[in-house]
């Protein structure tokens, strides 16, 4: 199971990178980056998974005394919560810059922006 989730995350990262590298349209590149972002999050959560254990929330089913033996690793989940929020911030920034580029040049094709091309 853990391998399946891990492989899914890696495939999403590769799909996102492929999309970001091959598409010429800035909006499509932004979508591709968010897909890669999701892939990274899936990989992180999958690494924290441990077979036969349950979510890191203690209640009647997981008494406090047995917590160390019954819950999965909570640290990757806390990290991913942070990563999702920061990912949203990055996406919002990319969209705002894409909009300004469109207003400045009337185009969203990355081929029209050649100043930084070598």
CB atoms within 10 A of CB 15: 15
One of 24, 54, 88, 105 touching other proteins (CB under 8 A):
88
Which of 50, 51, 54 is closest to 66 using CA atoms? 54
Is there binding between residue 54 and other proteins (CB under 8 A)?
no
d(Cα 14, Cα 18) in Å, to the nearest integer? 6
The answer to whether 33 touches 94, Cβ cutoff 8 Å, is yes
- Count of residues that bind other proteins according to CB under 8 A: 45
Residue 89 binds to other proteins (criterion: CB under 8 A)? yes
Q: 3-state class of 28 per DSSP? A: helix
3-state secondary structure of 50: coil
Cα separation values, 73 from 35, 37, 44, 76, Å? 25, 21, 11, 7
Out of 31, 34, 44, 49, the only residue in the binding site for other proteins (CB under 8 A) is: 49
> Does residue 59 bind other proteins (CB under 8 A)?
yes
Q: Is 112 in the site for other proteins (CB under 8 A)?
A: no
Closer to other proteins by Cβ: residue 59 or 115: 59
Residues near other proteins (CB under 8 A): 2-3, 6-7, 10, 13-14, 17-18, 21-22, 47, 49-51, 55-59, 64, 67-68, 71, 73-75, 77-78, 81-82, 84-86, 88-90, 92-93, 95-97, 99-100, 103
């Amino acid at each position: 199971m853990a391998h399946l989730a891990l492989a899914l995350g890696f495939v999403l990262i590769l799909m996102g990178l492929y999309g970001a590298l091959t598409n010429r349209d800035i909006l499509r590149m932004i979508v591709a980056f968010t897909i890669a972002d999701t892939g990274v999050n899936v990989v992180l959560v999958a690494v924290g998974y441990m077979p036969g254990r349950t979510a890191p929330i203690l209640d009647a089913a997981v008494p406090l005394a047995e917590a160390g033996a019954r819950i999965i690793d909570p640290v990757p989940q806390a990290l991913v919560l942070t990563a999702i929020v920061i990912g949203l911030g990055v996406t919002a920034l990319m969209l705002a810059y894409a909009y300004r580029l469109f207003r400045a040049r009337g185009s969203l094709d990355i081929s029209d922006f050649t100043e930084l091309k070598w």
